Amino acid sequence: SLGSGVSKNPLLGIRVAGAKSGDKIKVSWSDNKGESGGAESAIK
């Protein structure tokens, strides 16, 4: 969960160099309250 100053369902964007269609990317995060999360998706 992101902090109270962030939308409940934020849109986050990242740039990845050298990725091809079908490659998988995994992102994980943690905050200063000990909360953490992650997501995995294939490049379109």
pTM score of the predicted model:
0.54
Where would I find the H helices in the chain?
none
CA atoms within 13 A on the CB side of 4: 0
Contacts of 38 (CB under 8 A, 6+ apart): 26, 27, 28, 29
Give pLDDT, residue 9.
77
Structure confidence at residue 33 as a pLDDT band (50, 70, 90):
confident
Q: What is the mean pLDDT of the chain?
A: 84
The string of pLDDT tens digits covering residues 1-20 is 556 677 777 787 888 899 99
